[in-house]
Chain A
Amino acid sequence: MLKSIFHSQVSLGLAQAAIASVLALLVVLLARRRNIHLESDAAIALVRGIVQIVVVGSILMLLLKGPRWTSVFLLAGMIIAAGSISAKRAKNVPGAWKVSTCSIAAGAGLVTAVMTWAGVIDTAITSLIPVGSMIIANAMNTNGLALNRFRSEVLSHSGEIETALALGAAPDKTIASYTEASIHSSLIPAIDNLRSLGIVWIPGLMTGMLIAGVDPLYAAIYQFVVIAMILASSGLTSLLSTTMIRAHIFSPAEQLLLKESA
Chain B
Amino acid sequence: MNDVPDAVVLRTEHLGRRVGEQWIVNDVSLSVNRGELLGLVGVSGSGKSSLLRLLNRLDEPTSGTVFLEGQDYREIPPRTLRQRLGMVTQRPFLFPGDIASNLRFGPTQRDATLTDAEIAELLQHVGLPDFAARNVANLSGGEQQRVSLARSLANRPEIMLLDEPTSALDQQAKTGIEELVRNLVDEDRFTMVLVTHDRDQARRICDRVGLIEAGRLVQLGTPAEVLHA
Whether the pair A255, B59 counts as a contact (CB closer than 8 A) is yes
Task: Tell me if B65 is interfacial: C-beta within 8 Å of chain A.
Answer: no
Instruction: Report chain A residues within 8 Å CB of B78.
Output: 165, 253-255
Instruction: Report chain A residues within 8 Å CB of B83.
Output: 167-168
Given contacts A164-B105, A167-B106, contact A255 B60 (CB under 8 A): yes
Task: Tell me if B155 is interfacial: C-beta within 8 Å of chain A.
Answer: yes
Whether the pair A166, B110 counts as a contact (CB closer than 8 A) is no
Question: How distant is the Cα of A160 from the Cα of B93 in the complex, in angstroms?
Answer: 6
Whether the pair B58, A168 counts as a contact (CB closer than 8 A) is no
List B residues at the A interface (Cβ < 8 Å): 56-60, 74, 78-80, 82-83, 86-87, 89, 91, 93, 95, 105-106, 109-110, 151-152, 155
Question: How distant is the Cα of A168 from the Cα of B156 in the complex, in angstroms?
Answer: 11
Q: Which of B58, B60, B151, B152 meets A165, CB within 8 Å?
A: B58
Contact with B along A147-181 (1 / 0, CB 8 A): 00000000000011011111111100100000000
Whether the pair B106, A168 counts as a contact (CB closer than 8 A) is yes
How many contacting A-B pairs (Cβ < 8 A)? 56
List A residues at the B interface (Cβ < 8 Å): 159-160, 162-170, 173, 251, 253-256
Identity of the chain B residue whose Cβ is nearest the Cβ of A163 in the assembled complex:
B93
A14 to chain B, nearest CB (A): 50
B105 to chain A, nearest CB (A): 6
Question: How distant is the Cα of A162 from the Cα of B82 in the complex, in angstroms?
Answer: 11
Instruction: Report chain A residues within 8 Å CB of B59.
Output: 255
Given contacts A159-B93, A163-B89, A173-B109, contact A168 B57 (CB under 8 A): no
Given contacts A160-B95, A251-B60, contact A170 B109 (CB under 8 A): yes
Instruction: Report chain A residues within 8 Å CB of B60.
Output: 251, 253, 255
Identity of the chain B residue whose Cβ is nearest the Cβ of A261 in the assembled complex:
B19
